[in-house]
Amino acid sequence: MAKSTNREAGFDTAAAVTRSLLGWGVVAGVFYLVVGLAQALTRDRFDLTEHPLSLLMLGDFGWIQRTNLILSGLMVIAAAVGFARSLRGFGAGKAAGTLVGVFGLALILSGIFAPDPMAGFPPGAEATEGSLSGLLHLAFGAIGFVCLAVAAFRLAGWLDRRSRRLASYSRVTGAVILLGFAGGAALATSPWGVLLLWIAVVTGWAWLAVASVQLYGSVPHPDADRREAGAASAAEGRTA
């Protein structure tokens, strides 16, 4: 990663910014799931075994889930910038950052276009099929999950240099995301479909958090020069 360092203060501003951006990759998934589950447990007639979280966009309080998706997407885009900055110089770095960014953008667009009612939710709404908004919601969801899965495959090459175990985890995660979303979309009206979607969603957010933490650790501490200077001074004092 290219450095833009304040030499006089001994503080690496670029590293500090990159680390801050990567932190959003950990926050985003927790934020999305906590807000989504809080709604799922309090919305009338919403059933976690029958309804995907995206259905919370419908009804009187649908704006909460819309906001949840949009804010989570913005956090992911911030993390994607951190990915690109920390992986600069690595062949797949730019691609991984871009793919994560597309996932974030897809979340935002999914929050703009609501899904169609299904399985009795929201209460009183009749199930519909094939509305433009519903199709766009599904399309953006598919694009987002595919991009996240491919990002996991691409980052595995970088992880091979640090941990074969983490590289294997990244590749398995990519496969689980793809299979989970595909199965969930195909079986959307059944509890099995909802379960597969949950597996894809939770696995994807977990991977983003783990990858962000690994990349965070690869970025030099902003105060590294200052700490080294302090340690050197202390060593000189002990030998004086």
pTM listed for this prediction: 0.87
The answer to whether residue 200 is domain-embedded is: yes
Give the model's pLDDT for residue 103: 98
> Phi and psi at residue 25, in whole multiples of 5°?
-70, -25
- Digit-coded pLDDT (tens) for 196-218: 999 999 999 999 999 999 999 88
Q: Could you give the CA distance from residue 96 to residue 147 in angstroms, rounded to a whole number?
A: 9
Residue 112 covered by a domain: yes
Is 184 part of a structural domain of the chain?
yes
Residue 233 located in a structural domain: no
Q: In what helix (H) or strand (E) does residue 180 lie, and over which residues does it extend?
A: helix 164-186
Domain count, the chain: 1
Q: Say which DSSP state 163 is in.
A: -
In a domain? residue 232 = no
Domain of residue 65, residue span: 11-226
Give the model confidence (pLDDT) of 6-48 as tens digits.
Answer: 444 567 788 899 999 999 999 999 999 999 999 999 999 999 9
Q: 3-class SS at 142? A: helix
In a domain, 35, yes or no: yes
Strand partners, 11: 6
Domain membership of residue 108 (yes or no) is yes
- For the ranges 85-89, 152-156, 224-228, the maximum mean pLDDT occurs at 152-156
Q: Residues 82-115: pLDDT tens digits? A: 999 998 876 666 789 999 999 999 999 999 999 9
DSSP at 162: T
Q: Are 148 and 189 in contact (CB under 8 A)?
A: no
> Is residue 237 in some structural domain?
no
Please report the pLDDT score of residue 184 as a whole number.
87
